[in-house]
């Protein structure tokens, strides 16, 4: 007894159904990518609210572009930059950076605080930093690169700034000297929660 062999249905109706199924699968796979690209370039359906408080830096700038030399820590950094001497606004941000680092509690070891200035700090302040901020790293700041990067971010070149830097050295968020620290702490806690690095 020979088993019956069933031939595939090649009627025009089955071909149309097969093509529709293929088009539907392609639409499901490619459709979201096309929609996301259109939303990005057309700037529509983009949420107005945001979850961060500083200025988000999406320009691809890093510590080298900023002019910070030697800051190769593989942790998140709270970086204070001062284009000249470390004046009162700079000192305030150095204090805030340390407090924010402490405020991370169990995640405090995942971050560090750093100071970068184009001029050496005064001897009195240097002694104070060594006494009160023993874990603060200090680096030199190359002024020409720093000013060029600040022009891209729209920040005031003469003011001290606080930056959140990821473990790869990329600039993530920027805050001016008016920031109270609580918002920066929330932003950094959120980043650490989402991040698997550092």
Average pLDDT over residues 114-129: 93
CATH number for 55-194 (one of 3.40.50.720, 3.40.630.30, 3.30.300.130, 3.40.30.10): it is 3.40.30.10
pLDDT score for 1: 53
Give every strand in the sheet of 137-141, ordered side by side.
55-56, 171-175, 161-165, 76-82, 111-117, 137-141, 68-69
Alpha-carbon distance values, 198 to 45, 168, 174 (Å): 33, 9, 19
CA distances from 166 to 41, 76, 159, 171, 190 (A): 27, 5, 22, 7, 13
pLDDT score, position 50: 64
Lowest mean pLDDT among 45-49, 101-105, 182-186: 45-49
Give the pLDDT mean for 93-114.
Answer: 95
Task: Give mean pLDDT, residues 108-122.
Answer: 93
Q: What is the DSSP letter of 51?
A: S
Quick one: pLDDT band at residue 95, thresholds 50, 70, 90? very high
Instruction: Provide the pLDDT for residue 142.
Output: 93
pTM of the full structure: 0.74
d(CA 37, CA 46): 12
Residue 100's pLDDT is what? 95
Phi/psi region, residue 6 (left: phi>0; alpha: psi -120 to 50; beta: rest), is: beta
> What does the alpha-carbon distance between residue 61 and residue 151 come to, in Å, rounded to a whole number?
12
The pLDDT mean for the chain works out to 87
Average pLDDT over residues 27-43: 87
Cα–Cα dist 25/23, whole Å: 5
Give me the percent of the chain exceeding a pLDDT of 90.
56
Q: Where are the alpha helices (DSSP H) in 67-171?
A: 88-103, 123-132, 143-153
Q: Where are the alpha helices (DSSP H) in 43-169?
A: 63-66, 88-103, 123-132, 143-153
Structural domain boundaries in the chain: 13-46, 55-194
Distance CA 95, CA 80 (A): 10
């Amino acid at each position: 007894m020979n088993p019956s062999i069933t031939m595939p249905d090649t009627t025009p109706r089955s071909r149309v159904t097969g093509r529709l199924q293929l088009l539907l699968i392609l639409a499901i796979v490619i459709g979201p990518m096309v929609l996301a690209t259109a939303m990005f370039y057309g700037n529509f359906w983009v949420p107005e609210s945001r979850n961060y408080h500083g200025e988000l830096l999406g320009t691809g700038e890093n510590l080298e572009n900023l002019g910070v030399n030697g800051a190769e820590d593989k942790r998140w950094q709270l970086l204070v930059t001062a284009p000249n001497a470390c004046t009162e606004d700079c000192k305030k941000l150095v204090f805030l950076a340390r407090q924010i680092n402490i405020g991370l509690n169990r995640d405090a070891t995942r971050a560090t605080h750093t100071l970068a200035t184009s001029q050496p700090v005064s001897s009195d302040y240097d002694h104070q930093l060594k006494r009160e901020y023993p874990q603060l790293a200090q680096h030199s700041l190359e002024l020409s690169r720093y000013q060029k990067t600040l022009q891209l971010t729209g920040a005031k070149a003469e003011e001290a700034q606080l930056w959140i830097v990821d473990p790869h050295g990329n600039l993530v968020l920027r805050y001016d000297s008016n920031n109270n620290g609580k918002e920066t702490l929330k932003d950094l806690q959120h980043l650490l929660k989402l991040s698997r690095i550092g």
